[in-house]
Homo-oligomer: A and B are copies of this chain.
Amino acid sequence: MYTSETKIRIHYALTDQMGIVYHGHYAQFYEIGRTEAIRDLGFTYKDIEKMGIIMPVVEIHTKFLMPAKYDDLISVKTTLKEMPHNHRITFFSEIYCNERLINTGHVLLYFMHSQTMSRAEMPEKLKEKLLKYF
């Protein structure tokens, strides 16, 4: 299992007139969590794109338990529960606010060749970085 944690400060643009974070913005929090999880491995998603691999999102599932509010400092915990295989990778996210779990979700992405838009294997370099966690 590989886990990484990152913090996000809620700015005004993310709130809506219910006085809470607009539900549609959580996909961005998951994205930031994934990006920082890869960076914590000593690698970046930007590097992956430079290798000609892109990772489009294929599925998102989200459950909202409690709202986040303006100026909250939320914590996004991102987990790979298993070693990705073939062209598929699933990131699990838990979002905490003031030590309470407020949101859970998971996102399935594919590795794809950006030139041909055909399915790709996970880049070797990312695989090497991940192997020690599984």
A residues with a Cβ closer than 8 A to B are 9, 11-13, 15-20, 22-25, 27-28, 31-32, 35, 44-46, 54, 56-64, 67, 70-71
CA distance A28 to B11 in the complex (A): 8
What chain B residues lie within 8 Å of A23 (beta carbons)?
A: 27, 56-57, 60
Instruction: Report B-chain residues with C-beta under 8 Å of the C-beta of A20.
Output: 17, 56
Q: How many copies does the complex hold?
A: 4
Would A46 and B28 count as touching, CB distance under 8 A? Answer: no
Instruction: Tell which of B31, B46, B59 touches A62, judged by Cβ atoms closer than 8 Å.
Output: B59
Partner of A44, one of B22, B25, B71: B71
In the bound complex, do residue B64 and residue A35 qualify as a contact, i.e. CB atoms below 8 Å apart? no
Q: Is the CB of A64 within 8 A of B70?
A: no
Q: Which of B9, B13, B58, B61 contacts A22 (CB 8 A)?
A: B13
Q: Do B24 and A13 touch across chains, with their CB atoms under 8 A apart? A: yes
Instruction: Choose one: B13, B35, B56, B71; the contact of A11 (CB below 8 Å).
Output: B35
Query: Judging by beta carbons under 8 Å apart, are A16 and B18 in contact?
Result: no
Report chain B residues within 8 Å CB of A44: 71
A7 nearest CB across to chain B (Å): 12
Q: Which residues of B have CB within 8 Å of A67?
A: 56
Q: What are some 23 contacts across the A-B interface (CB < 8 A)? A: A11-B28, A11-B32, A11-B35, A12-B16, A13-B24, A13-B27, A15-B16, A15-B17, A16-B17, A17-B18, A17-B20, A20-B56, A23-B57, A23-B60, A24-B25, A24-B27, A24-B31, A44-B71, A45-B71, A46-B71, A57-B64, A59-B61, A61-B62
